[in-house]
Structure 1
Amino acid sequence: MTAKVAILGASGYTGAELVRLIATHGQMEIAALTADRKAGSTMGEVFPHLRHLDLPRLARIEDVDFAGLDLVFCALPHATSQQVIAGLPRGVKVVDLSADFRLRDPADYERWYGKPHAAPELQKEAVYGLTEFYRESIRPARLVAGTGCNAAAGQYALRPLIAAGVIDVDDIILDLKCAVSGAGRSLKENLLHAELSEGYHAYSAGGTHRHLGEFDQEFSALAGREVRVRFTPHLMPANRGILATAYVTGAAQAVHDTLSQAYAGERFLEVLPIGELPSTRHVRGSNFCHIGVVGDRLPGRAMVVAALDNLTKGSSGQALQNANLMLDIPEHTGLMLAPCFP
Structure 2
Amino acid sequence: MREIAARLRAWHESGTGYAVATVVAVGGSAPRLPGAAMAVSADGEAVGSVSGGCVEGAVYELCREALRTGEAARESFGYSDSDAFAVGLTCGGTIEVVVRPGPVPDAGLAAVSRDEHVAFAHVLPPGDGLLVVRPDRHEGTTGRADVDSVVIGETRAMLDAGRTGSISVRCEDDLDVFVQSFAPAPRLLVFGAIDHAAAVARIGAFLGYRVTVCDARPVFATPARFPGADEVVVDWPHRYLDNEAERGAVDGRTVVCVLTHDAKFDVPLLEVALRLPVAYVGAMGSRRTHHDRLARLRAAGLADRELARLRSPIGLDLGARTPEETAVAIAAEFVAARRGGTALPLGQTHGPIHHDHQAVVA
TM over 0.5: no
> Structure 2 length normalisation: TM-score?
0.34
- Structure number with bigger Rg: 2
- RCO comparison, higher one (Cα < 8 Å, 6+): 1
> Structure 1 length normalisation: TM-score?
0.35
